[in-house]
Structure 1
Amino acid sequence: MAKWIIPVTYTMAGHIAIEADSAEGAIRKANEHIDKCPLCNDASYLEDSYCIEEDTSLVELDTDLYNKGKLNIVPEMVDIETEE
Structure 2
Amino acid sequence: VFPDVGNNAAVISLHSGPVVEGDVKVMFESSSGLPKGYEDVPFYFWFNTSFITDNKLFLPREELDNPHKSKTWNLYKEDFGVTVFFSGSE
TM-score (norm 2): 0.20
TM-score (norm 1): 0.21
Which one has the bigger strand percentage? 2
Which of the two has higher C-alpha Rg? 1
Which one has the bigger helix percentage? 1
